Structure 1
Amino acid sequence: MKKRRLFFRIIGGLVLIFIIVTVFNALLVKSKQPSPKPTDVVIDEGKAVEHLSQAITFKTVSYQDRSKFDFTEFTKFISFLEESYPGVHDHLELEKINEYALIYKWKGSDSSKNPIGLTSHYDVVPVLDGTEGNWEHTPFSGTVENGKIWGRGTLDDKIGVIGILEAVEFLVNDGFKPARDVYIMFGFDEEIGGDKGALEIVNTLKERGITFDFVLDEGGAIVENMVPGVDQPVGVVGISEKGSATAELSIEGSGGHSSQPKNQTNIGRIASAIAKLEDTQFTGDLRGPGEDLFEYVAPEMSFTMKYVFANKIIFEPIIEQILLQQPATAALIRTTIAPTIFQAGEQYNALPEKATAIINHRLMPGDSLEEVKTFIEDTIEDDDIKVTITGSEASKVSSINGWEFKSIQQAARNVYNNAVIAPYLMFAGSDAKHYDSISKNTYRFLPVQITSEDLNRMHGTNEHISKDNFIQAIKFYAEIIKESNQ
């Protein structure tokens, strides 16, 4: 009996120590949000809204087939910018790359400092044939109604172009002079990869030996109800973007009549391979930018959630299992598998001699193309299926510890006082990846407060932005230039 009581006392003591230590860890968690310095930027809202409305009317559409580009629209758009922003064009040097990519240089008082760069793009995706009638206002009308601006580009990404230029025009007219050089860079083919726009801007600046302390592009936004346990809207700043790779699985063999099939046909073997991949999946691992996100939002959570994340070393397997339950959070912690194309057969009663499947992967930072290929081959266990993989790995991970990220965070808080601003891993691609080679840091953030429905509208039907959101974006761009003035 004495030994049993002693045993339970020891167990009870250990449990008590565990509770004390873990609760203490939770109590030590402090907010990583800077105190807001409410912005004093005052914008001529009517003129700004009119400018964005006009910008939408130019059909600067990017097509995969470049021969379809209507460059007269691009030329007219550039002329519109020159007419609309006299202060910008009087005080900043403008250079055109490949005729349509734009570099504005705002010379600072101390050019020995590394410059900063703000970038965006003014090309837009096409409107899907047959959907034009589903728009409440025609896609290139720029209609302003009920406090909203309508049209293709209001979210992606003429709002960035016009927002930046409105901010610079305000600062120039207000007498502001930057301490370091500021580059404003606009691509014209981001929607199809940016090879003629952003990439050529980068090549030009690289030849001149330009190195940025940071470049800020579009990317994450301020989203409500994004993180469980956080009541405030969360603004996510991409510090890296996942790689994008295409894996092709193909098999060839004898076809024959469908009346005498083998136990496993070419289609069946490819289908079996895909099923194995979807059943297995890459291992989830809360690391890198995904881990950084929760370190920044955990202090703003309820105590229960704060307790869990403050003791991540203990609860990490549970956290990862929870995150893997939803596609959006699963993509934050693992390389993804998305079969997108299946090709096989031409005749209903003939077995195909070849079957091919295309799988899109979004790679976590640190995962290589070769590792993805090896994972596929080891998982499908079929030596007759040929696996080829092409694409790009994740971009480098930018710092969250220096003044660069802290300036973005402060600028966002100055405008969105109640928002939690945190780093994260961006799933989609942007022009930012091109700037990695000439910038110490590249960040991805669109300074607007949006809903999940807005995200679906970016390349979809009824794209629009509220006037208030647009004005707040302008103020952010002015604030980030001021906050970087060091």
Structure 2
Amino acid sequence: MKIWKLILTLIAALLLIFIIVTAYNTVNVKSKQPPAHPSAVELNQTEAVQHLSKAITFKTISYEDKTKVDPQPYDQFLTFLQDSFPNVFKQLEFEKINTYGLVFKWKGTDEKKLPVGFTSHYDVVPVLKGTEQDWKQKPFSGAVVDGRIWGRGSLDDKIGVIGLLQAADHLLKQGYKPDRDLYFMFGHDEEVGGEQGAETIAETLKKRGVTFDFVLDEGGAVVEDMVPGVEAPVGVVGISEKGSATVQLSIKGSGGHSSQPEDHTNIGRISNAIAKLEAEQFHGDLKGPGEDLFTYVAPEMSFGMKYVFANKFIFEPVIERILLQEPASAALIRTTIAPTIFNAGEQYNALPEKASATINLRLMPGDSLEEVKAFIEKTIDDEDIHVSITGNEASSVSSIDGKPFETIQQAARNVYSDAVIAPYLMFAGSDARHYDKVSNNTYRFLPVRITAEDLNRMHGTNEFVTIDNYMNAIKFYIEVIKQASG
């Protein structure tokens, strides 16, 4: 009896210690948000809206098939920029790289300080044929209706190009002088990989010995109702972007008449391989940028959620299981598998002699192409299926400890004082990855407030940006320039 009492006393003591320690961890979680200093910038809204509206009318469309690209709208767009921002072209050094890549250099007063770069792109994706009539305003009209600027590129990403030039123009008119060199770098083929634009610009600057303290591109945004457990808007700043790889599964073998099939056909074996991959999946692990996101938002959560994340060393398996239940949060903690193309057969009564499948994977930082291929081969366990992989690994992970990230965070807070600004892992690709070779840090943040519906509009139908959002983007760029350079 005494032994049982001793055991129960020990359990109660351990439980009390557990409660005290975990509660202490929870109440000692401190906010990582700097105090906001609301922007007091006054802008010429009419002029700014006219500039973005007009920019949208130029059909600077990127195509995978380069022969489809019409250079005339690109030439017209460059002429429009020169006419709209004469102060910028006059007072900043300007050059074209690869004809349509644009680089502006704003000379700073202190040559010892590393420069800072800002990049966006002015090419856009095509409007899907047959959907033109679904637009409330014509996709290249730049129409200003109901407080919105409509058209392809309003969010992705002429808002970045025009917003940055508006910010520079405003500061030039104020007589502002940066204490370090500032670069504005605008690509013209980001939507198809950025090889002729951002990659060539980065290579050119590398040859000149340019190294940036940080480069800021589009990417994350101020999102609403998209981060579990946080009621406030969350401004997510990409500190890395997942790699993108294409895997081909292929098999060859005897075909024959469909009346006498083998038990395992080529189609069946490829299908079985995909089924195995979807059933197995890559391991989910809350680490890196995904972990950083919750470290920054946890202090702003309700007590229950804060309790869980403040004691992640205990609850991590539970957190990971919860995150893996939804595609968006699962993508934050694991390499993803997405079968996208299946090819096999030409006739209904003939067994195909070969079958293949294409799988798109988005790689977590730290996962190599070789490791991914080995995982796939082990999982499908079929020696007759050939596995090939091409693509790129995740970009380097930029620092959240120090001035560069604090600069972006403070600028965002100054414009969106109600938002929680946090690092995260970007799932899609951007031009920022090309600047890894010439920058100590690369960040990804589009300074607008968006919803999940807005995200669908970026490459879809009825893309628009509200005027308020656009003006806040300009204010952010002014704030981040000032924060970064003096």
- Please report the TM-score for the alignment, with normalisation by the length of structure 1: 0.99
Listed one character per residue, the Cα deviations across residues 207-233 of structure 1 (whole Å, up to 9, x for unaligned) are 100000000000000001122221110
Q: Report what 1:310 is aligned to.
A: 310
Q: Report what 1:453 is aligned to.
A: 453
Q: Report what 1:214 is aligned to.
A: 214
Q: Distance in 2 between matches of 1:91 and 1:54?
A: 23
Residue identity opposite 2:164 in structure 1: I
Q: Distance in 1 between matches of 2:122 and 2:154?
A: 10
Q: Distance in 1 between matches of 2:85 and 2:111?
A: 24
Alignment of 1:146-185 (within 5 A): 146-185=146-185
Q: Report what 1:250 is aligned to.
A: 250
Residue identity opposite 1:443 in structure 2: Y
Q: Report what 1:431 is aligned to.
A: 431
Q: Report what 2:127 is aligned to.
A: 127
Provide the secondary structure at the position in 2 that maps to 1:198: helix
Listed one character per residue, the Cα deviations across residues 381-439 of structure 1 (whole Å, up to 9, x for unaligned) are 10010101110000000000010000000000000001000000000000000000000
Residue identity opposite 1:240 in structure 2: S
Distance apart, 1:7 and its partner CA: 1.2
Q: Report what 1:202 is aligned to.
A: 202
Alignment of 1:336-347 (within 5 A): 336-347=336-347
Q: Report what 1:368 is aligned to.
A: 368
Q: Distance in 2 between matches of 1:41 and 1:407?
A: 18
Q: Distance in 2 between matches of 1:380 and 1:397?
A: 31
Residue identity opposite 2:81 in structure 1: L
Provide the secondary structure at the position in 2 that maps to 1:477: helix
| Structure 1 residue runs of 4 or more that deviate by more than 2 Å after TM superposition | none
Larger mean CA deviation between 61-70 and 400-409 belongs to 61-70
Q: Report what 1:384 is aligned to.
A: 384
Provide the secondary structure at the position in 1 that maps to 2:396: coil
Provide the secondary structure at the position in 1 that maps to 2:215: strand
Residue identity opposite 1:74 in structure 2: Y
Q: Distance in 2 between matches of 1:149 and 1:140?
A: 11
Listed one character per residue, the Cα deviations across residues 166-195 of structure 1 (whole Å, up to 9, x for unaligned) are 000000001110000000000000000011
Q: Report what 1:5 is aligned to.
A: 5
Provide the secondary structure at the position in 2 that maps to 1:358: strand
Q: Distance in 1 between matches of 2:227 and 2:72?
A: 44
Q: Report what 2:406 is aligned to.
A: 406
Q: Distance in 2 between matches of 1:304 and 1:277?
A: 35
Listed one character per residue, the Cα deviations across residues 348-391 of structure 1 (whole Å, up to 9, x for unaligned) are 00000000000000000000000000000110110010101110
Distance apart, 1:200 and its partner CA: 0.9
Q: Report what 2:288 is aligned to.
A: 288
Q: Report what 2:331 is aligned to.
A: 331
Q: Report what 1:268 is aligned to.
A: 268
Q: Which runs of 5+ in 1 are unaligned?
A: none
Residue identity opposite 1:352 in structure 2: P
Q: Distance in 2 between matches of 1:397 and 1:175?
A: 36
Q: Report what 1:136 is aligned to.
A: 136
Q: Distance in 2 between matches of 1:70 and 1:261?
A: 50
Say yes or no: does 1:239 pair with 2:260.
Answer: no
Q: What count of residue pairs does the alignment treat as equivalent?
A: 486
Q: Distance in 2 between matches of 1:233 and 1:304?
A: 19
Q: Distance in 2 between matches of 1:193 and 1:38?
A: 37
Q: Report what 1:23 is aligned to.
A: 23
Residue identity opposite 1:170 in structure 2: H
Q: Report what 1:230 is aligned to.
A: 230
Q: Report what 1:101 is aligned to.
A: 101
Residue identity opposite 2:53 in structure 1: S
Distance apart, 1:112 and its partner CA: 2.1
Provide the secondary structure at the position in 1 that maps to 2:356: strand
Residue identity opposite 1:389 in structure 2: I
Provide the secondary structure at the position in 2 that maps to 1:216: strand
Listed one character per residue, the Cα deviations across residues 41-84 of structure 1 (whole Å, up to 9, x for unaligned) are 11101110010000000000001111111111101101111111
Residue identity opposite 2:170 in structure 1: F
- Over the aligned positions, Cα root-mean-square deviation in angstroms equals 0.6
- Identity, % of aligned pairs? 69
- Please report the TM-score for the alignment, with normalisation by the length of structure 2: 0.99
Q: Distance in 2 between matches of 1:405 and 1:352?
A: 54
Residue identity opposite 1:43 in structure 2: L
Residue identity opposite 2:207 in structure 1: E
Say yes or no: does 1:92 pair with 2:81.
Answer: no
Q: Distance in 2 between matches of 1:248 and 1:123?
A: 29
Q: Report what 1:299 is aligned to.
A: 299
Provide the secondary structure at the position in 1 that maps to 2:74: helix
Listed one character per residue, the Cα deviations across residues 8-67 of structure 1 (whole Å, up to 9, x for unaligned) are 111001100000000000011000000001112111011100100000000000011111
Q: Distance in 2 between matches of 1:436 and 1:217?
A: 12
Distance apart, 1:89 and its partner CA: 1.3
Listed one character per residue, the Cα deviations across residues 207-264 of structure 1 (whole Å, up to 9, x for unaligned) are 1000000000000000011222211100000000000000100000000000000001
Provide the secondary structure at the position in 2 that maps to 1:333: coil
Distance apart, 1:446 and its partner CA: 0.2
Q: Distance in 2 between matches of 1:406 and 1:183?
A: 19
Q: Which runs of 5+ in 2 are unaligned?
A: none
Provide the secondary structure at the position in 2 that maps to 1:337: strand
